[in-house]
Amino acid sequence: MTQQSKFTPGPWRVDRTTGRIVAQSPAYPSDEDRCIAEIGESLAFSQQERVANARLIAQAPKMYELLKLINAYHVRILQDPSDLESALDGYPNASDIYRKARSLKAAIDGEAGDDRNSRAQRQARGAY
């Protein structure tokens, strides 16, 4: 049995007009987005850092799902390492998990088009 998470279900996004992190979920009866968090004004953080913090928080549900996927993949490998092919039947392969992780990192870094960049470009800016 899979345990239901206790946090507000995703997807979450940064509302560009308010700077709030809001949930867009079909679990809510209304069309109204629900505020998850608000990045307040502070002299301790620059505007650029506040925006980056908001992007990071907004990706939390996707990070959680990726961690669950990595954990399930790892558990399957440990259950029967002698027959990896059948143990991982129906599970994404390591390359798929890596692509999801890279895409998630790009979203957090504000680089939505990262998947279209060449390997050399990503290496040059330290994205690996």
pLDDT, tens digit, 9 for 90 and up, residues 18-34: 889 999 866 666 667 78
Average pLDDT over residues 122-128: 44
Give the gyration radius of the chain's Cα atoms.
18
pLDDT at 49 over 80: yes
Cis bond leading into 29, ω under 30°? no
The residue range of the domain holding 96 is 59-128
The angle formed by the CA atoms of residues 56, 59 and 65, to the nearest 5 degrees, is 135
**Is residue 24 located within the same domain as residue 75?**
no
Average pLDDT over residues 67-90: 72
**Is residue 43 located within the same domain as residue 89?**
no
**Is residue 63 located within the same domain as residue 110?**
yes
For the chain, the distance separating the N- and C-terminal CA atoms, rounded to the nearest angstrom, is: 35
Number of folded domains that form the chain: 2
**Is residue 69 located within the same domain as residue 112?**
yes
**Is residue 76 located within the same domain as residue 32?**
no
- Both tokens assigned to 84: 């990896």
Instruction: Label residue 84 by pLDDT band (50, 70, 90).
Output: low
State pTM to two decimals: 0.68
Instruction: Determine contact, residues 63/104, Cβ cutoff 8 Å.
Output: yes
pLDDT at 108 over 70: yes
**Is residue 71 located within the same domain as residue 44?**
no
Which of 58, 84, 99 is the C-terminal boundary of a domain?
Answer: 58
**Is residue 79 located within the same domain as residue 128?**
yes
**For position 37, what pLDDT does the model report?**
92
Instruction: Label residue 118 by pLDDT band (50, 70, 90).
Output: very low
**Is residue 32 located within the same domain as residue 66?**
no
**Is residue 99 located within the same domain as residue 121?**
yes
